[in-house]
Amino acid sequence: MAEKRRSISSDDLRSHNKPGDVWISIQGKIYDVTEWGKDHPGGEGPLLNLAGQDVTDAFVAFHPGSAWKNLDKFHIGYLQDYVVSDVSKDYRKLVSEFSKAGLYEKKGHGHLIRLLVMSLVFIASVSGVVLSDKTSVHVGSAVLLAVIWMQFGFIGHDSGHYNIMTSPELNRYMQIFSVNVVSGVSVGWWKRYHNAHHIAVNSLEYDPDLQYVPFLVVSTAIFDSLTSHFYRKKMTFDAVARFLVSFQHWTFYPLMAIGRVSFLAQSIGVLLSKKPLPDRHLEWFGLVVFWAWYSLLISCLPNWWERVIFIAVNFAVTGIQHVQFCLNHYSAQTYIGAPCANDWFEKQTKGSIDISCSPWTDWFHGGLQFQIEHHLFPRMPRCNLRKISPFVKELCRKHNLVYTSVSFFEGNRRTLATLKNAALKARDLTSPIPKNLVWEAVHTHG
């Protein structure tokens, strides 16, 4: 027993940071979670990305109090030189106060109302296709369906972070319904992708949200052909990438209009892969149902021309949501390397941007407008994000930390400015680029 509870140095802890050898520290206790990775609800990725570090802030951010009891079986020792920064102390205090106030449990009836409203909107969309022969009505139906996809995307996002239903089992079915059945995207793929984003927000090498080479680049550091640790391949920046990136501030919105294609393709790719995926059969069932109802709906349109228009409008309007994702991070600070758990709060605030808006537009943003608050408190129901925002701002002021909140228009302007800056530097032909095959550039993930 004494051996299992030995005193361990930070240097020793840092050496256990690779597949097959994963240790972490939580509040000064060290846990060997090597075998837990395959069963971890958030996937093995977050454990590997933060392995060899004290992960207390990340742990309290993503796990409810009930998760603490599961740690004992992994406990192997104590961290010798465990220290807590003033920022982390205040952050953990906020987490505790919000929990005591019941803010993690007070979800309201927002999701029930959204489900009812979106059901009516879906009926209206289908009715427009089936009962009318006017092209304008069909286009309107396509817009309504795109709104449904966006709103169910927000619902799926919420259900991936906390229980929006009365039990974990029902919540899982809601995930499959809202993401797979309604939207045609694999919730398993999304959770793997999204967890990596949360853990390593705005890391050029670890955050898949910033890895869209050869089409989009937010930092000139990517010109050095960095390695994506999410996709496990090199993000080759060659002549093809340089050409495409040099016009990215013009192609940004068109790319967002077809961004859904990437989601659909990567969903199928993950389901076909051998990567661990909970309820794979259920995910397949959800996607089959989606393609069945969507194909049937498209077939009800009178001709191929209108079908093409319907799909194009569907995807283009849904692209608004992809733009929203980008506004929250593209013009924020980026960094190279693995995420560091001892500056959790600082990394989340530096890498995220809020969108200031009136409460009546909260439905449009789906909680994404409080991106800083969401990244710091991912289990917090979106109906409470506006309530906790003043506390987050105050903590940032106290510790002189970045807290950026801009209008939707300014967010777009900043994003385009970031893309334009990288584009103009990509046009500098005096800057050498690696000589790689065009195939690598075209097939880089993203």
d(CA 304, CA 426): 40
| Cβ count within 10 A of residue 86 | 9
Do 40 and 113 lie in one domain? The reply is: no
Residues in the chain: 446
pLDDT digits (tens, 9 = 90+) for 222-279: 999 999 999 999 999 999 999 999 999 999 999 999 999 999 999 999 999 988 888 9
Do 223 and 319 lie in one domain? The reply is: yes
* 3-17, 284-298, 309-323, 328-342: least confident range: 3-17
pLDDT at 439 over 50: no
Task: Identify whether the C-beta of residue 302 lies closer than 8 Å to the C-beta of residue 133.
Answer: yes
Range of the domain at 446: 84-446
Tell me the residue type at 436: N
Residue 259 domain-assigned? yes
Residue 1 domain-assigned? no
Do 89 and 169 lie in one domain? The reply is: yes
Query: What is the number of structural domains in the chain?
Result: 2
d(CA 210, CA 189): 17
Residue 129 domain-assigned? yes
Mean pLDDT of 88-97: 96
Q: Which of 247, 200, 250 is nearest to 226 (CA)?
A: 200
pLDDT digits (tens, 9 = 90+) for 244-256: 999 999 999 999 9
Residue with tokens 């995910």: 283
| Cβ count within 10 A of residue 19 | 11
Do 75 and 92 lie in one domain? The reply is: no
Do 324 and 339 lie in one domain? The reply is: yes
The confidence band for 398, taking pLDDT boundaries of 50, 70 and 90, is very high
The confidence band for 431, taking pLDDT boundaries of 50, 70 and 90, is low
Q: Which two tokens mark 222?
A: 């990517």
276 has which bridge partners?
A: none
Give, in degrees to the nearest 5, the angle at Cα 301 between 299 and 303. 95
Give 347's contacts (C-beta < 8 A, 6+ positions apart): 201, 202, 335, 339, 340
Residue 141 backbone dihedrals phi, psi, to 5 degrees: -65, -40
Do 21 and 132 lie in one domain? The reply is: no
Give, in degrees to the nearest 5, the angle at Cα 349 between 346 and 350. 80
Tell me the residue ranges of DSSP E strands in 27-134: 29-32, 75-79
pLDDT digits (tens, 9 = 90+) for 125-175: 999 999 999 999 999 999 999 999 999 999 999 999 988 888 889 999 999
d(CA 222, CA 236): 9
Do 118 and 22 lie in one domain? The reply is: no
